[in-house]
Structure 1
Amino acid sequence: MMIFIIRWMSVIYSFLDQLLQYSTWIKLVAVLKKVVSPSFHQEGGYFSKVLSVNYHFTRQCNYECGFCFHTAKTSFVMPLEEAKEGLRLLKEEGMEKINFSGGEPFLPDRGRYLGSLVQYCKEELRLPSVSIVSNGSLIREAWFKNYGKYLDILAISCDSFNEDTNKAIGRGQGTRNHIESLMKIRQWCSRYRVAFKVNTVINTYNIDEDMIDHIMHLNPIRWKVFQCLLLEGENAGPDALRNAERFYVTDKQFADFLDRHRGVPTLVAEDNVKMQNSYLILDEYMRFLDCREGAKKPSPSILDVGVAAALDHSGFDEAMFRRRGGVYRWSKADMDLQW
């Protein structure tokens, strides 16, 4: 009997020893995953879902673009320290690039707030890339003097080089000239060593326009050309603040525009298929927005559940993000720019 008990104890001990070794292996794998940088994004390597994040920290805007798909549903802006905490959490999960957007991020009461976040991301979090998307109408040189050194890329939205067309789209306010503002900002970007980018939404108002000479003159690091996108509850449907159906262009019309402008070397095109789910969008409450069903369904806030849990509700298409060229030389230190 004693021999039988000893044999069984030996079997149990052997099983527990193997289980411990297996547990140790699992722990080792977890450690290795932490050691291997989550920002490693060479082809075939480990890839972080939070490598690049678009933080729409405000929905308010001074323009009324008819096709806007992130409209002024709220006036909420996250308190500065809470916003910094969310950005820190994202950095811990592998974020290398943050893009601040809106709404319009340079509204009169937002410039210092935006500057503080830009400085925090570059100085404290040491992110390789900090960028902003703006309509350009409210940017002043003083902002560049205070914060330009912390900013890698400034993208200005410009849908036409005809001022009447811009106004018809809703990209205008009072007597301000959108094109003049664009040209002035281009000069400031050179002066303060900020990489300059142009974003253009192709719609029924500009579909026949020839922009080649203007873009070549501006010489942006990237000319991002988007197909007008419809999202339920934002710019389409009964509950939307905008009705963008009259701005929508077909795939064929969009392809024809691209074909006419194929000689522009910095053109980066994104149709609706590439665009809809390939951006990791964080809203004003720091919730990821899932656009898979043609609307924006928010996740829980990363401040409440953490980044990983919120990502499960993001609908983010990481493969499409890579295919559309979401990873590029986005730090101005790595760009071959002539200032």
Structure 2
Amino acid sequence: MNQYNQHKVTQKPDIGTLVINWHITEVCNYNCLYCFAKWDQKLQPRELLHDESGTNRLLEDLYRFFSPKNLTNPLRESQSWGRVRLNIAGGEPLLYAGRVLAIATAAKKLGFEVSVITNGSRLTQELVTKLSPMLSILGISIDALDTGDNWNIGRVDHRGRGLQLDVLEQVIATAKALNPELSLKVNTVVNSANHKRDLSAVIERLQPEKWKVLRVLPVLTDELTITQSQFDGFVQRHQHFAEVMHPEDNSDMMESYIMVDPLGRFYQNALESGSQGHLYSQAILDVGSRAAFASLPFNTGRYQSRYVSLATKELG
């Protein structure tokens, strides 16, 4: 059962914004070897994002349960929040750009703040013109600049094309011009192909408000895993970005995200239970968010350690 009460405190921390990560699709144009975005879809292979009615009902149910106004949410026993954000992720969500725009629009109407995490390959001037006004945060996944490193990671498409930093820089400039309140976040997964690299040039050029540096998590495979000292070495090499850099080791990531899979189920990574893969709730549309969320482990202490310090930055 969900361990809501394991980190009760006398004075509830204010996390600012509660973040729900909906991985809307498993489909991606890249093939990163370490990717954990592979879900058990044997019983119902069609992803929920293709069902507009089902998508809207899922968003409504999530907002009712996690709304700042819902004082009966069990997470209220250990923390408080004034806003709730839907983070749209994948796979690569912008392969379904039209659906992302529709989901973002529906979520905003309900009261969500909205963010998107993307590999950046499908960001165009036309798309960002439509999307950026709806976002509070745009997240870009960047692990390497070197073509060989990206090949080794799998961060290229079937034609061998990777992210073009010059193009991305221009698109981000357009997004920020259209939405001056938009924050940029860069996600980097540190792995055996890039842990010796220096990504200072990327951070200096893009100037993100947050740089999340994650140690590769062996959820489905041990490929590209690294040691603690290798991860620490990468972090130390980039300490001049300490103001925006937020490292997350494997233990920080376990049971500390609110995640929904493409079929509309809450899930957690199963590493802490001694096995690889994912743990799933029943479908939210079948049992409701309250019952589904309560069926999985969730570590409020780890969640708070990430978001309490960021409450004023709103970049979780």
Q: TM-score, normalised by structure 1?
A: 0.75
Deviation of 1:47 (Å)? 7.1
Alpha-carbon distance in structure 1 between the residues aligned to 2:53 and 2:10: 36
Structure 2 residue aligned with 1:58:
25
Deviation of 1:263 (Å)? 1.3
Distance 1:189 1:229, change over 3 A: same
Q: Are the aligned partners of 1:302 and 1:310 in contact in 2 as well (CA < 8 Å)?
A: yes
Structure 1 residue aligned with 2:78:
none
Within the alignment, does 1:100 sit opposite 2:83 as a pair? no
Alpha-carbon distance in structure 1 between the residues aligned to 2:100 and 2:90: 11
Structure 2 residue aligned with 1:320:
302
Distance 1:261 1:43, change over 3 A: farther
| One-letter amino acid of the structure 2 residue matched with residue 103 of structure 1 | G
Structure 2 residue aligned with 1:284:
262
Q: 1:258 aligns with which of 235, 260, 271?
A: 235
Alpha-carbon distance in structure 2 between the residues aligned to 1:88 and 1:155: 24
Q: 2:224 aligns with which of 247, 269, 276?
A: 247
Within the alignment, does 1:166 sit opposite 2:133 as a pair? no
Within the alignment, does 1:271 sit opposite 2:246 as a pair? no
Within the alignment, does 1:306 sit opposite 2:288 as a pair? yes
Secondary structure class of the residue paired with 1:51: strand
After TM superposition, the structure 1 = structure 2 runs for residues 10-25 of structure 1, keeping only pairs within 5 Å, are: none
Alpha-carbon distance in structure 1 between the residues aligned to 2:314 and 2:262: 25
Deviation of 1:135 (Å)? 0.7
Deviation of 1:276 (Å)? 1.9
Q: Are the aligned partners of 1:131 and 1:153 in contact in 2 as well (CA < 8 Å)?
A: yes
Alpha-carbon distance in structure 1 between the residues aligned to 2:296 and 2:24: 17
Distance 1:191 1:88, change over 3 A: same
| One-letter amino acid of the structure 2 residue matched with residue 200 of structure 1 | T
Mean CA deviation greater in 75-84 or 131-140? 75-84
Higher gyration radius (CA): 1
Q: Are the aligned partners of 1:119 and 1:147 in contact in 2 as well (CA < 8 Å)?
A: no
Q: Are the aligned partners of 2:129 and 2:174 in contact in 1 as well (CA < 8 Å)?
A: no
Secondary structure class of the residue paired with 1:300: strand
Q: 2:111 aligns with which of 117, 120, 126?
A: 126
Q: TM-score, normalised by structure 2?
A: 0.80
Alpha-carbon distance in structure 2 between the residues aligned to 1:307 and 1:60: 25
Within the alignment, does 1:111 sit opposite 2:88 as a pair? no
Secondary structure class of the residue paired with 1:60: coil
- Superposed CA deviations along residues 112-155 of structure 1, whole A, max 9, x for unmatched, are 11101111111x1122x211111111122222222321111111
Alpha-carbon distance in structure 2 between the residues aligned to 1:329 and 1:143: 29
Structure 2 residue aligned with 1:178:
163
Percent identity, aligned pairs only, is 28
Alpha-carbon distance in structure 1 between the residues aligned to 2:133 and 2:314: 12
Q: Are the aligned partners of 2:39 and 2:261 in contact in 1 as well (CA < 8 Å)?
A: no
Kindly tell me the number of residue pairs found equivalent between the two proteins: 275
Deviation of 1:175 (Å)? 5.6
| One-letter amino acid of the structure 1 residue matched with residue 311 of structure 2 | Y
Q: Are the aligned partners of 1:64 and 1:170 in contact in 2 as well (CA < 8 Å)?
A: yes
- Superposed CA deviations along residues 19-78 of structure 1, whole A, max 9, x for unmatched, are xxxxxxxxxxxxxxxxxxxxxxx9923779x93210011111110001101127656321
Which fold has the larger relative contact order, with Cα–Cα distance below 8 Å and residues 6 or more apart in sequence? 2
Alpha-carbon distance in structure 1 between the residues aligned to 2:10 and 2:100: 34
Moved over 6 A (4+): none
Deviation of 1:205 (Å)? 0.6
**Superposition CA RMSD, Å:** 2.3
Q: 1:296 aligns with which of 271, 278, 282?
A: 278
Q: 1:151 aligns with which of 104, 117, 135?
A: 135
Alpha-carbon distance in structure 2 between the residues aligned to 1:73 and 1:172: 24
Structure 2 residue aligned with 1:76:
46
Within the alignment, does 1:221 sit opposite 2:209 as a pair? yes
Q: 2:58 aligns with which of 73, 76, 86?
A: 86
